[in-house]
Structure 1
């Protein structure tokens, strides 16, 4: 014998399913980002794994009307597909020291073609201020204003404002440059592939 279902119970179950269906990377952006950029929408999201271990969930937020994947079929070395302000949010699943984040960032910037060691040395203290140590559940948000620079937040608190367009472009290129080490994550962030 089948029992009739309660409409209230069905609604509660549906609401729970919708909450659980939200992407893990869906985070609230810091209010200064929203004030500067206006309404942003999530273009795409994905996760970063290293030797099978999940390091973080990532989400790319863009302005309405911006189609970040529209010119993503660029040849290697063509750079980044976005020229309007955008935010990249990373929610970590593991503890990582700020030193490790900075070292990995500089290594990737170097791998993507930055060969000026003097410039990299000048960028290191700026990244050290921007990228603190993270614990599981922590979120880092970077807001890139192409041609101007970038701002960084940890757990909603501003850590640094970098007024160096070259450093900002090089940093976000780690994820968005056509030569990224993680092309599948790039495609997901740009909305070209589903997670």
Structure 2
């Protein structure tokens, strides 16, 4: 009887895991590449970036879209969050402190070949995936605009990367 209860429990846990992961399946599997580029800081490769949309075209502040970063070095969560805050301040964007707190809960530290994917759904909700696994969401549509501005604003720190991402230069 105890073996039967254990088996039922294991089946229940597996079903629960399947149901919970189903709601967060890859939302951009059929998206098309808008553009891609390489983020380099001085002589260090930091990450490769890709921008994807349903049509393969970019329109400012239009959702849905996805931005994927594939890291080429180890970076702590705290450094990722600090860089985000620093760029919002540099661009003089209005941001809310609770966004940074939420990112602390969602983001891990990253290592070489890790990926962080931002998927902004049609309602402007930002969903984060870490190595293809859903990590959390920020439901404030204002966050989506401020966060994507780091890469996609004309005031970005890296205009060449922006141009590559939005398809203003050759996609190769």
Q: TM-score range by the shorter chain?
A: 0.7 to 0.9
1:43 to 34, 44, 52: 34
Alignment of 1:103-118 (within 5 A): 103-115=82-94
Aligned residues: 148
Contact 2:49 2:67 in 1 (8 A): yes
Q: Deviations over 1:84-121 (max 9, x none)?
A: 301101000100000100110011112222356xx2x2
> Is 1:129–2:111 an aligned residue pair?
no
Distance in 1 (CA, whole Å) between partners of 2:105 and 2:122 is 20
Distance in 1 (CA, whole Å) between partners of 2:125 and 2:63 is 12
Structure 2 unpaired stretches of 5+: 1-23
Query: Are residues 146 and 170 of structure 1, via their aligned partners in 2, closer, same or farther at CA, if it must alter by over 3 Å?
Result: farther
Distance in 2 (CA, whole Å) between partners of 1:41 and 1:138 is 21
Give the structure 1 partner of residue 57 of structure 2. 67
Structure 1 unpaired stretches of 5+: 1-29, 72-80
Alignment of 1:6-85 (within 5 A): 31-34=25-28, 39-64=30-55, 67-68=57-58, 81-85=60-64
Q: Deviations over 1:45-101 (max 9, x none)?
A: 00000011100000001112x521xx6xxxxxxxxx241301101000100000100
Contact 2:71 2:115 in 1 (8 A): yes
Give the structure 2 partner of residue 162 of structure 1. 138
1:97 to 71, 76, 91: 76
Structure 1 residue 31: deviation in Å?
3.3
CA RMSD of aligned residues (A): 1.9
TM-score, normalised via structure 2 length: 0.79
Structure 1 residue 146: deviation in Å?
5.9
Contact 1:130 1:153 in 2 (8 A): no
Secondary structure of the residue aligned to 1:142 is strand
